[in-house]
Structure 1
Amino acid sequence: MSVARTGEFGLIARVTARLQPGPGTLLGPGDDAAIVAAPDGRVVASTDALVEGRHFRRDWASGVEIGHRAAAANLADIAAMGATPTALLVALCAPPGLDARWAEDLADGLAAEAATVGAAVVGGDMAGSPTLTIAVTALGDLAGRRPVTRDGARAGDVVALCGRVGYAAAGYTVLSRGFRTPVLLVDAYRRPKVPYAAGPAAARAGATAMLDVSDGLLQDLGHIARASKVAIDIDRSAFEVPPQMRDAAQALGVDPYHWVLGGGDDHALAATFPSDRTLPEGWREIGRVGEGTGVTVNGKPPKGPLGWDHFAS
């Protein structure tokens, strides 16, 4: 049954019936607005939009998988501030012919990803649109900690990474060439594995700057370099290319480090730490912060695009 036949309020009823409240949900879907607990007294908020054909394709991933991806993109931003996610708000703009069951699958994926961090989908909106669009807003709680922003890196700091990079970008390239394997890479694109707990752990360990790697490691580290007025040098040998990625790169004629250093959508966390601090579990050193500007790899400017640009041709 299409969403046009189901109707706006029928679709809302079908979707919200699948959503469970989280620990911080005081009032969930069904009223003019939701109410979410904010024990810290501050609310961390982030929003993102996914447009069909630009950010996802229904022939590449299921509704559940796209739900996981949409939630992960926002939950990772909350973790990158050193906060714990508490809730998601979701706006779905859909063409009238969309299968209502696909919308239910999307809701299941969103809810499942949120539940991995103890959060919940607490509300949102639906509207008709010729282009399927999913807009997600995530909320989070700092639990009394200071937020870890992009402008705190200092010369002498260690650059560290938690999570994997290059896998989702490799999966995207594989899918775009009409293949469905290696499964490791394709699944990484369809459903990111985000180290959410590493964000608050980094904040507790004294991280000086942090962000979510969504558009490419070098490009995103450039944001820290600019905000902090420092230079960042990355050690290429710090990254191990798995056999599946190396084989796919060889078959497709791609340098695998193009994926590793310039690919997004894995939503790893990158941060800087004082050199005298012990890195939290799961974090590994990948470079150093120095005086100057920009991002280099083994002391040299990187070649080619540094990452994803939404408005590039």
Structure 2
Amino acid sequence: MAEDEGPLRGHTEAQILSVIEHGLSLAGGSSSEVLTGPGDDTAWLRVRSGAVLVTTDAMVLGRDWRDDWSSPRQVGRKCVAQNAADIEAMGGTATGLVVTLVADPATPLAWVRELAIGLGQEAARAGTLIVGGDLSSAGPGVCVISATALGELPDGAVPVLRSGARPGDALAVSGPLGRAAAGLLLLQENRAADDPDLVGYQQSPRPAYGDGRRALEAGASAMLDVSDGLLLDAERIANASGVRIDVRTAALAADVAALTAVGDRATDCVLRGGEEHVLLATFAGKDVPSGWRVIGAVTPGAGVSVDGLDTQGGGWEHFTAQQE
């Protein structure tokens, strides 16, 4: 498309929106719950359950991604994945997303079109749609993408909060851990070719949509998604629930073994690596949903331990982490 050539500067908002909407349309998908999508002042959605889940997350160029590490499609997919995972973490299903793009006018229009394709592709994988958003210009080198995801629960259900864990519950995770953190290390060390799969997960995480709903139906007592590291996120459940959580490293041996590309740092990636977006939940009893595995236990007390030993949580903190 000829209109994809050149920077945003010099194009009208209508032209830019046209490119974005075209990019989104390439991912296909439709929903009977979206009564009015992009084009009006607001989207109009049908809400069947009578209650709405809402979450938001932002990504900043140079802080959350680098253009020399990630394609615009990967950035778009990551933006949707991290928001849809938060809806999953409550036991819900995403029903729509609105996305805001704040960008330097020098940003290539082609980059924005590819971003939109990535947004649409991951929304389709999550079973939802991009239903609207906003555009704004910014200073030199600035690019910020913010998404707000809406979701709902099955009829009559209540969300799974962080505060419901009780002593005796099992701690379980819905998928592998440490991949995104290991991929980031490889990118930082210019070793992406050593394990493209790990790098790919850092560039574009792939949550298993539906795991939150299965956990809800299985009676999960507390849940969140692992966005900032296993120990830090487990500590959040422990603090909210007023309990102690003990993580068992023997149950994480396969996760560590899968990260041979980062050598002796694999264990730290598993325990403290963020951006994984699998789900961490507690369950009364040891019966967990298919595909989940028990990695620890909830006990009386406070904080987090590893194999019974006290530990500082560790993990990603936005205002203390070093910018890459």
Which TM-score bucket, shorter chain as reference? over 0.9
Query: How far off its partner does 1:178 sit?
Result: 1.7
Query: How many angstroms apart in 2 are the aligned matches of 1:112 and 1:163?
Result: 22
| Among candidates 254, 265, 270, match of residue 260 of structure 1 | 270
Query: How many angstroms apart in 2 are the aligned matches of 1:218 and 1:156?
Result: 19
Deviation string 1:260-310 (CA, Å, 9 cap, x unpaired) is 0100111010000001x621111100000000000110001236x610000
Deviation string 1:61-114 (CA, Å, 9 cap, x unpaired) is 100011111110100000000001111100000101111111111111111111
> Given the alignment of the two structures, is residue 237 of structure 1 paired with residue 247 of structure 2, yes or no?
no
User: Which amino acid is the alignment partner of residue 176 of structure 1?
Assistant: Q
2:12 aligns to what?
7
Identity of aligned residues (%): 41
Cα pair 1:163 1:267 within 8 Å, conserved: no
Query: How far off its partner does 1:18 sit?
Result: 3.1
Query: How many angstroms apart in 1 are the aligned matches of 2:159 and 2:67?
Result: 36
Query: How many angstroms apart in 1 are the aligned matches of 2:40 and 2:11?
Result: 20
> Given the alignment of the two structures, is residue 279 of structure 1 paired with residue 293 of structure 2, yes or no?
no
Q: Give the superposed CA RMSD.
A: 1.3
Structure 2, unmatched stretches of 5+, are 1-5
Deviation string 1:106-162 (CA, Å, 9 cap, x unpaired) is 111111111112200000000001210000101111022110000000000000000
The worse-fitting range, judged by mean Cα deviation, of 2-11 and 237-246 is 237-246
Structure 2 residue matching 1:89: 3-state secondary structure: strand
Q: Using structure 2 for the length normalisation, give the TM-score.
A: 0.92
User: Which amino acid is the alignment partner of residue 134 of structure 1?
Assistant: I
The 1:306–1:23 alpha-carbon spacing in structure 2 relative to 1, beyond 3 Å, is farther
Query: How many angstroms apart in 1 are the aligned matches of 2:247 and 2:198?
Result: 24
Q: Using structure 1 for the length normalisation, give the TM-score.
A: 0.95
> Given the alignment of the two structures, is residue 203 of structure 1 paired with residue 208 of structure 2, yes or no?
no
User: Which amino acid is the alignment partner of residue 108 of structure 1?
Assistant: I
| Among candidates 150, 154, 158, match of residue 139 of structure 1 | 150
Query: How many angstroms apart in 2 are the aligned matches of 1:243 and 1:28?
Result: 45
| Among candidates 288, 297, 303, match of residue 288 of structure 1 | 297
1:173 aligns to what?
185
> Given the alignment of the two structures, is residue 212 of structure 1 paired with residue 225 of structure 2, yes or no?
yes
The runs of 4+ residues in structure 1 deviating greater than 4 Å are none
Cα pair 1:87 1:139 within 8 Å, conserved: yes
Query: How many angstroms apart in 2 are the aligned matches of 1:186 and 1:17?
Result: 29
Cα pair 2:226 2:278 within 8 Å, conserved: yes
Structure 1, unmatched stretches of 5+, are none
Query: How many angstroms apart in 2 are the aligned matches of 1:65 and 1:262?
Result: 23
Deviation string 1:180-203 (CA, Å, 9 cap, x unpaired) is 121121011112120221101000
| Among candidates 33, 46, 49, match of residue 58 of structure 2 | 49
Structure 2 residue matching 1:77: 3-state secondary structure: helix
Query: How many angstroms apart in 2 are the aligned matches of 1:231 and 1:114?
Result: 36
User: Which amino acid is the alignment partner of residue 4 of structure 1?
Assistant: R
The worse-fitting range, judged by mean Cα deviation, of 101-110 and 237-246 is 237-246
User: Which amino acid is the alignment partner of residue 245 of structure 1?
Assistant: L
Query: How many angstroms apart in 2 are the aligned matches of 1:166 and 1:41?
Result: 37
1:308 aligns to what?
316
Cα pair 2:272 2:315 within 8 Å, conserved: yes
Query: How many angstroms apart in 1 are the aligned matches of 2:218 and 2:13?
Result: 47
2:3 aligns to what?
none
Query: How many angstroms apart in 2 are the aligned matches of 1:92 and 1:23?
Result: 26
> Given the alignment of the two structures, is residue 193 of structure 1 paired with residue 206 of structure 2, yes or no?
yes
Structure 2 residue matching 1:98: 3-state secondary structure: coil
> Given the alignment of the two structures, is residue 84 of structure 1 paired with residue 93 of structure 2, yes or no?
yes
User: Which amino acid is the alignment partner of residue 18 of structure 1?
Assistant: G
User: Which amino acid is the alignment partner of residue 226 of structure 1?
Assistant: N
Alignment of 1:48-197 (within 5 A): 48-130=57-139, 131-144=142-155, 145-181=157-193, 182-197=195-210
